[in-house]
Structure 1
Amino acid sequence: MSSTTAGYSAISSYSRVEILRLLTERTRRTITELSEATALHPNTVREHLQRLEADGLVVRTIEHRTTRGRPRVLFTAVMGEAAISSPVAKRKVREAANRGDLMRRMIPDAEPDTRDLDPDALHQLDAIVEHLADSGFDPAFDAHNLTLEVRRCHHQATQADHRETLCAVHLGIMQGVLTEAGGPLRAVAVRPEGVPNGCVLQLARSHAAA
């Protein structure tokens, strides 16, 4: 797994969180639109978008024009249960599944809580656990309650005033990771209470899978 810490994760900057929030509210936005909405310089917005693209959280498309003029570059967040696909996100979930399969072959009893999960759900769990670990968190899966306890959230202290927005954006990111991985598991809620310096991510099985 990556040794990336939360201080270097894509959502460690609240400006990037705000950009993701705006792209969730309305897709296919331009740098100029995001700059006006955030009061950030266009070059700063461009740098944030490049970082989000590199992490598979944003994709860009070129506007299709039927009139004269230079086509605009449009940005969309890879978030939520109806997330669009990102080549970077697709590669990440595939590599996480490969690493998970390898570990389970080498150490069959390493993850006793995952024994009852089908392969698709296992690979979703591989993807979401690796995402959280790469973001600097410390996730622990509870098969009985179908939850992920997420600890070491530095946002609780450094960005406490924005916690509601942060949790909503991160829930959307995790929904996107599970959607990209494909399978029966869904992220339905984040509960910050009861976990010191962390939260609980509530998972559920899709109705079709159930």
Structure 2
Amino acid sequence: MARTSYSAISSYSRVEILHLLQVSPGRTIQDLCEHTGLHANTVREHLQRLADGGYIVTEREHRTTRGRPRVFYSAATGADDASSPIARRKAMDAARRGDLLRRVLPPTDASALEDDAVHQLDALVEDLEAAGFDPIVDERELTVDLSPCAHADMDPAQRGILCSVHVGLMQSVLAEARGPLQVDGLAPSCDPTTCVVHLAR
């Protein structure tokens, strides 16, 4: 299967916006325009795509005076104050499908993972597959192999931001699925086509 970037961040402009929201939550459209150089309508369109994917959340300003309240945008992290209903629903649906699949498939060498951790992996794998990746999960070693990286030929500065955004998205998916696993980081490699994500309890 050909590997592509997350469909919601298939443009580098959306990658840049999501990176800004991951690093510094609670940004306005005007703030994002100033940091990216994009027109407000373009930023709004990108934010809508990210919201539809469950990757960002919004909070409306509470005003006590007249005037339109500002809207603040943040990356969805799965925390109580930054949980996306769309991402939560996707995680629950993935767990349900995973449970159905495990009922009909013959048992394999079961890992020592508990149900909520298995459900986290269900959500993570579905999210990565929907984005065009073909993840290979090792439940015993707690790794997710995404090699070869489709972005290995990008400018190193842009690739670094993209990797950071992908790690943040994976952590968010695991958090929304509510279990013990979290992203521990990327395995170091001198080969830019190699991408192995380490998980930890």
- Write the distance in 2 (CA, Å) between the matches of 1:195 and 1:107: 36
Partner of 1:84: 82
- Write the distance in 2 (CA, Å) between the matches of 1:83 and 1:70: 23
- Are 2:24 and 1:26 aligned? yes
- Write the distance in 2 (CA, Å) between the matches of 1:137 and 1:195: 18
- Are 2:67 and 1:74 aligned? no
Partner of 2:40: 42
Partner of 2:120: 124
Partner of 1:176: 172
Partner of 1:59: 57
- Write the distance in 2 (CA, Å) between the matches of 1:169 and 1:176: 10
Query: How many residues are matched?
Result: 201
Q: Which moved more, 1:195-204 or 1:47-56?
A: 195-204
2:161 to 162, 165, 169: 165
Q: Which moved more, 1:176-185 or 1:79-88?
A: 79-88
1:4 CA drift (Å): 10
Relative to the length of structure 1, the TM-score reads: 0.86
Residues 116, 184 of structure 1: alpha-carbon distance in 2 compared, 3 angstrom cutoff: same
1:196 CA drift (Å): 6.7
Partner of 1:94: 92
Q: Name structure 2 gaps, 5 residues minimum.
A: none
- Are 2:137 and 1:141 aligned? yes
- Are 2:87 and 1:104 aligned? no
- Are 2:197 and 1:189 aligned? no
- Write the distance in 1 (CA, Å) between the matches of 2:55 and 2:123: 14
The one-letter code sitting in structure 1 at the alignment partner of 2:7 is S
Please say if residues 61 and 70 of structure 2, whose CA atoms lie closer than 8 Å, have aligned partners that are also in contact. yes
Relative to the length of structure 2, the TM-score reads: 0.90
Partner of 2:15: 17
- Write the distance in 1 (CA, Å) between the matches of 2:188 and 2:125: 18
1:33 CA drift (Å): 1.1
Q: Which moved more, 1:177-186 or 1:144-153?
A: 144-153
Please say if residues 3 and 134 of structure 2, whose CA atoms lie closer than 8 Å, have aligned partners that are also in contact. no
Residues 87, 159 of structure 1: alpha-carbon distance in 2 compared, 3 angstrom cutoff: farther
- Write the distance in 2 (CA, Å) between the matches of 1:176 and 1:27: 14
Percent identical: 52
Residues 118, 177 of structure 1: alpha-carbon distance in 2 compared, 3 angstrom cutoff: same
Alignment RMSD: 2.3
- Write the distance in 1 (CA, Å) between the matches of 2:189 and 2:80: 27
Residues 172, 80 of structure 1: alpha-carbon distance in 2 compared, 3 angstrom cutoff: farther
1:195 CA drift (Å): 6.5
1:150 CA drift (Å): 1.0
Please say if residues 117 and 180 of structure 2, whose CA atoms lie closer than 8 Å, have aligned partners that are also in contact. yes
Please say if residues 144 and 198 of structure 2, whose CA atoms lie closer than 8 Å, have aligned partners that are also in contact. yes
SS at structure 1 position matched to 2:65: coil
